[in-house]
């Protein structure tokens, strides 16, 4: 990300949040078959889903919830509302 012209402080903030999630043993003890993570330098939102999702990593200026939205148990309006809050603050 830094080579793509991103602000190094914002990249560091995002990296720290993801590292904290990786180290959160309590979080990893309560998992389903799939996990969707949507992250910005300001917020991080996770969705545990009962279906296995294909591994996917996207780095972009917008979210790409296509894989997560395809999961029957992940209600599309809930996902849309969560992403709207994630982006708007």
pLDDT, one tens digit per residue, over 2-60 is 556 668 888 898 899 999 999 999 999 988 888 888 888 888 888 887 777 778 788 77
Distance CA 7, CA 67 (A): 28
**Phi-psi region for residue 71, left (φ > 0), alpha (ψ -120 to 50) or beta?**
beta
Contact at 8 Å (CB) between 2 and 11?
A: yes
- Other Cβ atoms closer than 10 A to 39: 17
Confidence band (pLDDT; 50, 70, 90) for 72?
A: very low
Distance CA 33, CA 38 (A): 17
- State whether residue 60 is helix, strand or coil: coil
């Amino acid at each position: 990300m830094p080579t793509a012209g991103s602000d190094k402080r914002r990249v560091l903030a995002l990296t720290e949040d993801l590292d904290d999630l990786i180290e959160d043993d309590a979080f990893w003890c309560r998992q389903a078959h799939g996990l969707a993570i949507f992250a910005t330098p300001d917020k991080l939102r996770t969705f545990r889903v009962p279906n296995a999702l294909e591994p996917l990593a996207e780095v972009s200026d917008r979210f790409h919830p296509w894989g997560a939205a395809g999961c029957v148990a992940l209600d599309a309006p809930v996902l849309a509302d969560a992403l709207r809050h994630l982006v708007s603050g």
